[in-house]
Structure 1
Amino acid sequence: MQFQWSQLVFLIAGSRSIAALQQQHIGTDDLKAKCSAFSGELQIPDATVYLSEVVAAGTNLSLPDYNVTCGNPYQIVPKEICRLSLYVATSNRSGINMEAWLPFEWTGRFLSVGNGGLAGCIGYNDIAYGSSLGFASVGANNGHNGTSGGAFYNNADVLEDFAYRSVHTGVVVGKQITEAFYGSSHKKSYYLGCSTGGRQGFKSAQDFPDDFDGIVAGAPAIAFNNLTSWSGHFYPITGPVNSSTFVPQNLWPVIHADVLERCDALDNFVDGILEDASLCNYTASNLLCGSNSNASACLTEEQVNTVNQIYAPLLASDGSLIYPRMQPGSEILASRILYGGAVFPYTTDWFRYAVYNDINWDPTKINNTDYETAARTNPFNIQTWEGDLSAVQKRGAKILHWHGQMDAIISSDNSPRYYEHVSETMGLSSADLDDFYRYFRVGGTGHCSGGDGAWAIGQNLNAFDSLAPGENILMAIVDWVENGNAPDTLIGTKWNNGTQSAGVDYKRAHCKYPLRNRFKGEGDAKDIEAWECVE
């Protein structure tokens, strides 16, 4: 990690006043002894505790029960913790597997983390991150195991867990565990999530505003039913790989280069990054093949039409908006995920197992009737589109919302749409919303992490260069909640060759909406001071 010990001052200083009582009355040795016996002593309604164990710092923790579709069955544990694993029943045919990672150097803070996709995968990387920073950290499996939505089939209770109940139950139980272990309750409660995890953060804000004092919600999968329709609608546009409308993989770098040719300079500097992709109104007409064109670097008329439809919003039969367009700049990765000649698998699962309960539903026939049925069905209001956040505002809680501008899975155009929806619903200007809700466009950033620009903003264990609040979104929400210091920018880091161990290439400040990042026109573009936030 490339930060200096001096950058830990905020983290430590902010923790002392909160955690003083805990640290005065219970020491690490006592907590270790308590951890060993904790699983036998803990009494939680409807819960079965599997284990409690001390895990040393640096342990490569084996996770033998982790579903193979969820990723690697192990997790590096950065700081020594008491690990608790348990099952909590949510009905007579549903329940959540969850873990609580309780650091011995506790700051008095509680953190819940989210999930991704349709997945039933505990966010081990995120609870490792939180616990390494002194948060009592919990994560759950969303009521099922693995990345498939098959568990929703004919089981509304599992679907309810996925829609909202897994996170909320994990928070309620996690706070009980925290108090039982440390002997006192948490002082501040936080949430960290991206994608489905971003939606879960907003679902908490909308329906359970007392759960968190601070929420970090990245690339949120809000307008969820419409999003799953949009993800599936690309197949009817592209057709299968042998269709005349299909754009093969070798042409997407050509299209991406044309996007940059047309739009890269809109932020006043040509560097391969669209700081605000919403400014780019791209059509592929320049790439239409002529009589003397190189066929490997141009598009047929049908392919031009395909690309133009991809960058157009999805509309209902009455002309109303279902979901915004895909923003230009994301096409290299999106072409493999969404435009590859097959229906996006989450769309298939959602319609088969949640919307229709019909395993024979054919995703290749998806159409406006399906989109409208999904929106109308909206199980457990999973849409997560309520614009009234007054309960969050009234209790003084805070929300930091961010979205990468080259997201290849969830259109970044949807995030400002929700922000404006909140503004209109509550009758508040951006200046008014600034008191409790701030949104940031993060240029050069893909879906939740990665990308061509300064994408590392502290959103996960592998994405931070500093613990200073200005450069770390998790510590930024802490600083805002506990000290009243609201961020006007989020400073991101780009590493050399995209590799953290290779060192920092440059840093760039990402602007608070509705401002956008713009090069001042002189100086080194890698200098953070060479950029400014403008209207």
Structure 2
Amino acid sequence: MSTLLRISLAAVASCALVAARSSVFPDCSGIAHASFSAAFPATFLNVTYYDTGTLNVSGIVNEVSFCEFLVSIRYGKNVSMGAGRSNSLQFALWLPELKYPSRLMALGNGGEAGVINYDDMMDDLNSGLNFAVAAGNAGHLFSDNDAGVGTSLGAPGVYQPYFHDEDQVKAWLHDAISIFTPAAKSLMESYYGYRPRHSYFRSCSTGGAQAFSLAEFHPDLFDGIIAGCPANWFTHLSLAFLWGQQQTKTDATTLPAPVLDFIQASVIKECDLIDGVADNLIENPLACPFNISSLACTAAHHAENITCLTPSQLSAAKALYQGPVRSDSLSTSIFPGYALGSEGGWSLPQVQGAMSNAITIPILQNLVYRNLSYDPSTFNWASDVDFLDSRVGPLIDAVTTNFTSFRKSGKKMIVYAGWADPMISPMWSMQHVEAITKATMGSQTTIAENDFIKLVMVPGGGHCGAQVAKYPYVPAQYGFSSAIVDWVENKTEPVEGIKSWGPTNGENRTRRLCTWPLVAKFKAGGDVDDWESYTCG
């Protein structure tokens, strides 16, 4: 599911009270005005009751009736000075009419945020897991991202207000969820008469960075956390976008879509059957022996007009597989590169420069150098990396590897990454979870032995779901919410696999996702498209 989602607050708030209330549940507005804790510097923007089937979010309607509380909560250094002089974060809380909704699911943001993630709220409301759900806008407005142009990302040379407010920057990736969650729990107590017995957080990309921030800075706030395709090393991820732009910026080094499709098809042809299943999918790209140099042009290729890679294109492709490195130590990685089998997605913006233009350059111009005329082509891949780390790393990164507090308090975390993600290298998730495992449980401990974080690598998975254009047949909806609930509440680790379903082409196909380093193994005689036909081994 997309991480750059929004829906008009006005549209959400406009639905009238459409059905008679059950006497079992209190009145929405009565709870809002009578019982909300004075401890929170908050203002109610709207309180609305939705009967079953009356709210439509991106084509999905609510399967249970609920009360929505739309709240603005002040935060930051000037929080005590009143709404006119402090920053504010808007959040929505949906409290369903269920007999025993003892769980809260909080949801994060995508991209540069600024909006409430209603799509994911609807998913978890309808999950059948009895969640009350909450999500916020990360402490700034959508219209601030690109000076009111109307995108969820930035642009070179454009002043972005929230990058010039340290409290708003910290809220974006570090603090937003911890700002609204206590208030959401308090409202839940006012409505049901008790606080949630278990609290969970789920999000992807920027939301994955928010997830790691919670585990690092607020380890007691949630019992279970789901972090997808995490952007928690945001400084270096942004450099990976700049690297991709610079490596493919000339006519000679650009990699057009037909060339990328050719590379990906060549990789899959060589490595599809490694897992014993002919399904146009690579279960484990690390086991794939493909060598990109085998596609280099020769005299025979030219004579027969066969597709191949020129020396410049070959160099560019190798640079994207490698990822950015320091110019003063070419063996020192700044951020890992992309995996085999992801090539078709490289035609997405980061290779052609749009992700660098939308994220990296605005950060460098607004947040790092405070100069809208800063020329990113002058970026020094040694000294400027260090300056970036020192200047903004403490504000937007969450890369600690010592999770002792999180583990000792019994918290659980599922991290997932798509092997075909063309935005954030899946190798980053693997490297980071491995580092956390060793720092927290001992240097000889493997990822497989980690008892508080489980890593799931999704074959053919794109960024936070499907890589739609190239893997439409790959299931792109994941049962991580039920898996984290089962792990936290029933102590059942998800080692036997997690179900995935819903490929974007509409076919009825399911697959088993395994916790790394386990991979799905096909059982002879089974149905290739049924997750029950696989085991994790």
Scaled by the length of structure 2, the TM-score of the pair is 0.83
Give the match's secondary structure for 2:407.
helix
Out of 317, 320, 339, the residue aligned to residue 332 of structure 2 is: 320
Gaps of 5+ in 1: 1-26, 63-71, 459-471
How far did residue 406 of structure 1 move? 1.0
Distance verdict in 2 for CA 1:238–1:456, change over 3 Å: closer
Equivalent residue, structure 1, for 2:485: 478
Asked if 1:455 is matched to 2:463, the reply is no
Give the match's secondary structure for 1:271.
coil
Equivalent residue, structure 1, for 2:230: 220
1:414-453 to 2 correspondences below 5 Å:
414-428=428-442, 429-430=445-446, 433-451=449-467, 452=471
Which deviates more from structure 2 when the two are superposed, residues 167-176 or residues 121-130? Answer: 121-130
Asked if 1:85 is matched to 2:70, the reply is yes
Distance verdict in 2 for CA 1:203–1:289, change over 3 Å: same
Equivalent residue, structure 1, for 2:392: 378
Contact 2:243 2:323 in 1 (8 A): no
Amino acid across the alignment from 2:72? Y
Out of 122, 135, 160, the residue aligned to residue 128 of structure 1 is: 122
CA separation in 2, counterparts of 1:352 and 1:496? 39
Contact 1:454 1:493 in 2 (8 A): no
Distance verdict in 2 for CA 1:341–1:214, change over 3 Å: closer
CA separation in 2, counterparts of 1:237 and 1:339? 8
Asked if 1:37 is matched to 2:53, the reply is no
1:208-252 per-residue CA deviation (whole Å, 9 max, x = no partner) reads 111001111111112221111112211110014xx2111222221
Gaps of 5+ in 2: 1-19, 79-85, 143-151, 155-159
Contact 1:275 1:516 in 2 (8 A): yes
How far did residue 380 of structure 1 move? 3.5
Amino acid across the alignment from 2:32? S
CA separation in 1, counterparts of 2:531 and 2:62? 33
CA separation in 1, counterparts of 2:24 and 2:376? 53
Equivalent residue, structure 1, for 2:89: 96
Asked if 1:47 is matched to 2:42, the reply is yes
Out of 509, 512, 520, the residue aligned to residue 509 of structure 1 is: 512
Asked if 1:144 is matched to 2:140, the reply is yes
Equivalent residue, structure 1, for 2:174: 164
Contact 2:283 2:459 in 1 (8 A): yes
Out of 370, 373, 377, the residue aligned to residue 357 of structure 1 is: 370
Contact 2:229 2:424 in 1 (8 A): yes
CA separation in 2, counterparts of 1:295 and 1:57? 61
Distance verdict in 2 for CA 1:301–1:208, change over 3 Å: same
Amino acid across the alignment from 2:120? D
How far did residue 96 of structure 1 move? 0.7
Which deviates more from structure 2 when the two are superposed, residues 410-419 or residues 291-300? Answer: 291-300
Amino acid across the alignment from 1:394? K
Out of 38, 50, 53, the residue aligned to residue 58 of structure 1 is: 53
How far did residue 442 of structure 1 move? 1.5
Equivalent residue, structure 2, for 1:339: 351
Give the match's secondary structure for 2:122.
helix
How far did residue 446 of structure 1 move? 1.0
Distance verdict in 2 for CA 1:232–1:280, change over 3 Å: farther
How far did residue 489 of structure 1 move? 3.6
1:139-189 per-residue CA deviation (whole Å, 9 max, x = no partner) reads 010111222352333211110111311111111111111112222111111
How far did residue 267 of structure 1 move? 2.5
1:278-332 per-residue CA deviation (whole Å, 9 max, x = no partner) reads 3346543222223343657222111111111111132222342211111121222
1:479-498 to 2 correspondences below 5 Å:
479-495=486-502, 498=505
Contact 1:81 1:103 in 2 (8 A): yes
Amino acid across the alignment from 2:188? T
CA separation in 1, counterparts of 2:533 and 2:141? 47
CA separation in 2, counterparts of 1:210 and 1:297? 55
CA separation in 1, counterparts of 2:353 and 2:121? 36
Distance verdict in 2 for CA 1:496–1:313, change over 3 Å: closer
Equivalent residue, structure 2, for 1:175: 185
How far did residue 481 of structure 1 move? 1.1
How far did residue 381 of structure 1 move? 4.7
CA separation in 1, counterparts of 2:323 and 2:215? 27
Equivalent residue, structure 2, for 1:8: none
Asked if 1:194 is matched to 2:213, the reply is no
Equivalent residue, structure 2, for 1:249: 257
Amino acid across the alignment from 2:370? N
CA separation in 2, counterparts of 1:345 and 1:322? 20
Which deviates more from structure 2 when the two are superposed, residues 103-112 or residues 264-273? Answer: 264-273
Amino acid across the alignment from 2:360? T
Contact 1:244 1:302 in 2 (8 A): yes
CA separation in 2, counterparts of 1:295 and 1:31? 74
Scaled by the length of structure 1, the TM-score of the pair is 0.83
How far did residue 37 of structure 1 move? 2.7
Distance verdict in 2 for CA 1:401–1:496, change over 3 Å: closer
How far did residue 514 of structure 1 move? 1.9
Give the match's secondary structure for 2:352.
coil
How far did residue 529 of structure 1 move? 5.6
How far did residue 196 of structure 1 move? 1.2
Distance verdict in 2 for CA 1:186–1:532, change over 3 Å: closer
1:65-101 per-residue CA deviation (whole Å, 9 max, x = no partner) reads xxxxxxx7x9733321100101111133422111111
Amino acid across the alignment from 1:448? C
Give the match's secondary structure for 1:130.
helix
Which deviates more from structure 2 when the two are superposed, residues 435-444 or residues 38-47? Answer: 38-47
Contact 2:235 2:388 in 1 (8 A): yes
Give the match's secondary structure for 2:72.
strand
Equivalent residue, structure 2, for 1:526: 529
CA separation in 2, counterparts of 1:156 and 1:326? 32
How far did residue 425 of structure 1 move? 0.8
Equivalent residue, structure 1, for 2:361: 348
Distance verdict in 2 for CA 1:186–1:496, change over 3 Å: closer
1:18-38 per-residue CA deviation (whole Å, 9 max, x = no partner) reads xxxxxxxxx962465520333
CA separation in 2, counterparts of 1:496 and 1:404? 14
CA separation in 2, counterparts of 1:366 and 1:266? 41
CA separation in 2, counterparts of 1:61 and 1:363? 43
